[in-house]
Structure 1
Amino acid sequence: MSRAAHLAVLGLALLTGFQAHAQADKIARLQPIEQSPLQIVTTVNFVTDLVQQVGGNRVQVEGLMGAGVDPHLYKASAGDVRKLQRAHLVFYAGLHLEGKMVELLERLPKAIAVTDAIPRERLIRPPGGFGGQYTYDPHVWFDVTLWKLTVGRVRDALSKVDPPGAAYYRANAQAYSRRLEQLDAFIRQQIARVPAQQRVLITAHDAFAYFGRRYGLEVRGLQGISTLSEAGTRDVQQLADFIVQRRIRAVFVESSVPRRAIEAVVAAVRARGWTVAVGGELFSDAAGNPGTPEGTYVGMMEHNTRTIVSGLLGRSL
């Protein structure tokens, strides 16, 4: 390794260590709050679900972003800012998922990024990076073993501001961690039903890299990791060529991303003499509606898994 490259790696390591330390200090600086239930504000709805799972009846959680909301594009309103300021604690995903709210959240002492619990060496950071603000791919929840690490961070923050509830939060965190272990096993078993050569997942934007790495699928996204980027005609044509060459049966739309780009790919494939189906709708940057199975993180992941397996096999499960 050249001296310049060595210094660059060292600088990145120091910066990453500094950022992790700074975020850890956020929890250390939290003060106990003598009020029940705790008033919590969250950003994306699967973070809302995470906090509810750990906090149980000792917290009251309000999420800013509901089903179908794209966190890459979401802008905080004046009302959102007031909610953030009044909350006892704020939990957000981090890794710049909430792209237009990053500066606001990072400046807020009581705002905790749940993904800071994940060692940076386990994050996806291809050579050259993603460009722009994304040093790492933020879509870590698609690897259940990584998302499980966030449970402890929520537990620790809640316990710090509510010491009498520490044992309760610890029990909830342990129970939910066991449920996530079961979920991880379920996904691995279901994906194993698809022949290896058919395990190609094509979606509207590049949100499923962690899912592919953990569960053994080749993943292609028409757009980049952020929906701020737009797919052009060349992107559509190249992806259509890939689908025809690999004889892929299904592509997938996403609940928080417009369908038109994937529909353009389907049309381009048809023009080449091959037929590819829309295998179903996946939840990517947002879970489903409250009160539905897909409105929880576990339900979202189970739905996605069944939809992917069914689409790739070309039959209902």
Structure 2
Amino acid sequence: MIYFSLQTPSIPTLEETQAVVQEVHQDLQQLKPNAILETIRSWTPGLLSFSYRLLYAAIIIIIGNRIAFYLRRFLKRTFDRMGMDLGLSKFLISLANAIAYAIVIFMALEKIGIPSTSIIALLGSATLAIGLSLQESLGNFAGGILILVMRPFGIHDYIVSEGVEGKVLNIGLVYTTLLTVDNRRITIPNGTLSNAVITNVTAQEKRRIDLTIGISYSSDLKKAKAILERIYREDPQILQDEPITVYVDQLADSSVILGSRGWAATEDYWAARWRIIEKTKLEFDDAGIEIPYNQMDVNIFQKTIDK
């Protein structure tokens, strides 16, 4: 007779289970700190390198800020000694300041690890797009820079350019504003003005008054010349230390053309000119000197026809 024996596995007791759990817990506690430490150790060289790069970038920014400050102060003193226009001076200082900070920022970003070539390419594309859309305005801007640098005229000068004339009220970076003698404001783009022929009437302290007047061939030539010279000599706004000249300019078809020259202060030019012209007419009338004018003689002839 055969007997089969079935052996039932033993069930661990509560104490044994708690012991196993405690052992596993201890192993996990030992494993977790070790893993964190290993991770931190692996990150340490990169963190230290990035910290050093941040420190170098901060040092570059600090030094660059000081250099930009001294550069602004140096440029301001230089422009003041040059007597440069205030608007142009501020613009150039701001431009130099922006360029200096851009260089500093690029150097700092490069030190951190961001390639400056990518930033330059992005800025270049944006600048090209803006330049194409504002081409005419940029031309006026460049013209304003040329006017402010070359200074063909200044504030309060009286200029004449391509049929437009007036006193300069303002020279901006894009437009120049004139005030005409009849109190109208004219705004001219600097791009147009910088490429035009400009006559600066008030650039010099004095101007020469040139007048020509015709007298008839029957009038006394020497007497007319003496009267013209006396008018110039007696005028209070004519500069007597400058040469005064009265001469025969030409022998025209119907008159003898006399020329006269004298100098006056620039601000007195028009008043002196108008006064001399008026006085010449009155003096010639009193002296019986004829000023000829174009005239036409019409003769009517009547012809009789015999029938």
TM-score by length of 2: 0.25
Greater RCO, 1 or 2 (C-alpha within 8 Å, sep 6+): 1
Normalising by structure 1, report the TM-score. 0.25
Structure (1 or 2) with the larger CA radius of gyration: 2
